[in-house]
């Protein structure tokens, strides 16, 4: 089965890195693991061997028959043909339960899938994701650094984040042009500050970091319509209430 460039597919090959990823997850018999994008099943088989219940979400209809042939005879395997960006993750698992997520993600959906998983964090206890190394460096960047931005704030506000290890291009077919990294996220029991409107908070953070060379004030000016602001005095009041210097750069 050939990888589809349109879906950003890069399949894990060999046994070393799939085993390393699954070892870092340490799946337990009986627990539920949601695998996003099982592809050719490099991680799926190892996860199933642990006795964990695996719910695999696959978008590519051409992968479904092969995955079904390989694993449908196993009682702890369930295959869902769906777009991971549209799935209600809480509906996939038993009411009141929490699942862990494992995924080798196409680079182009890194940001939207991260947002989606964080949205459903109430029923996800942990996420182990394979992403482009540059993206992982941004997600785990400390405040004040040049890599610190929207993804850093989003991920670290809601989750504990940990880079696990790098994966070279040769571990995939076709080989990407850049390194990947494995990342672990564990949703926090509570956030550092209460949030009344999560959608607004996320949009505000995006706007603040929209252009790194611009000041906070100029970024807000450019995006005030999306934030429901009507004039510059509201922006000044917002920054003052947050004790932010409007001339500070994002």
Q: Are residues 223 and 142 in the same domain?
A: no
Parent domain of 9:
5-187
Task: Name the residue among 46, 34, 42 with its Cα closest to residue 173.
Answer: 42
Q: What is the pLDDT of residue 237?
A: 76
Rounded to whole angstroms, the Cα distance separating 231 from 217 reads 12
Q: Are residues 130 and 215 in the same domain?
A: no
Per the domain annotation, does 24 fall within a domain?
Answer: yes
Q: Are residues 160 and 205 in the same domain?
A: no
Q: How many domains does the chain have?
A: 2
Let me know: does 113 contact 85? Beta carbons within 8 Å.
Answer: yes
Per the domain annotation, does 16 fall within a domain?
Answer: yes
What residues are paired with 83 via a beta bridge? none
CATH code for the domain of 35: 3.40.50.150
Q: Are residues 49 and 132 in the same domain?
A: yes
Residue with tokens 């482009």: 132
Per the domain annotation, does 192 fall within a domain?
Answer: no
Residue 182: which H helix or E strand, with range?
A: strand 180-187
Q: Are residues 52 and 168 in the same domain?
A: yes
Q: What is the pLDDT of residue 205?
A: 86
Rounded to whole angstroms, the Cα distance separating 55 from 38 reads 10
Q: Are residues 144 and 77 in the same domain?
A: yes
Let me know: does 83 contact 58? Beta carbons within 8 Å.
Answer: no
- For 186-225, the pLDDT digits (tens) are 999 888 778 888 888 888 888 888 777 777 777 777 766 6
Q: What is the pLDDT of residue 9?
A: 61
What pTM, to 2 d.p., does this model score? 0.88
Residue with tokens 């009041």: 237
Per the domain annotation, does 193 fall within a domain?
Answer: no
- For 45-73, the pLDDT digits (tens) are 999 999 999 999 999 998 999 999 999 89
- On average, the pLDDT of the chain sits at 89
Q: What is the pLDDT of residue 33?
A: 98
Let me know: does 127 contact 92? Beta carbons within 8 Å.
Answer: no
CB atoms within 10 A of CB 250: 17
Instruction: Please enumerate in sequence order all residues whose Cβ is within 8 A of that of 233, keeping only pairs 6 or more positions apart, or say none.
Output: none
Tell me which of 187, 207, 231 is where a domain ends: 187
* Confidence band of 5 (pLDDT split at 50, 70, 90): low
């Amino acid at each position: 089965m050939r990888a589809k460039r349109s879906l950003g597919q890069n399949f894990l090959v060999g046994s070393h890195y799939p085993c390393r990823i699954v070892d870092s997850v340490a799946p337990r018999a009986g627990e539920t693991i949601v695998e996003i994008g099982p592809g050719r099943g490099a991680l799926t088989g190892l996860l199933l061997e642990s006795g964990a219940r695996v719910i695999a979400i696959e978008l590519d209809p051409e992968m479904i028959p092969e995955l079904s042939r390989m694993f449908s005879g196993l009682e702890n395997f369930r295959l869902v043909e769906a777009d991971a960006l549209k799935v209600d993750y809480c509906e996939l698992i038993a009411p009141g339960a929490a699942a862990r997520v494992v995924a080798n993600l196409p680079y182009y959906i890194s940001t939207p899938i991260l947002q989606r998983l964080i949205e459903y964090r109430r029923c996800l206890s942990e996420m182990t994701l394979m992403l482009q190394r540059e993206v992982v460096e941004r997600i785990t960047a400390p405040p004040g650094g040049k890599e610190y931005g929207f993804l850093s704030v989003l991920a670290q506000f809601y989750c504990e984040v940990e880079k696990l290890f790098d994966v070279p291009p040769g571990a995939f077919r076709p080989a990407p042009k850049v390194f990947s990294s494995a990342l672990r996220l564990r949703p926090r029991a509570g956030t550092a500050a209460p949030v009344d409107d999560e959608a607004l908070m996320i949009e505000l953070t995006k706007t603040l970091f929209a252009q790194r060379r611009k000041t906070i004030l100029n970024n807000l000016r450019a995006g005030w319509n999306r934030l429901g602001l009507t004039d510059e005095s509201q922006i000044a009041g917002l920054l003052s209430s947050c004790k932010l210097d409007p001339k500070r750069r994002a």
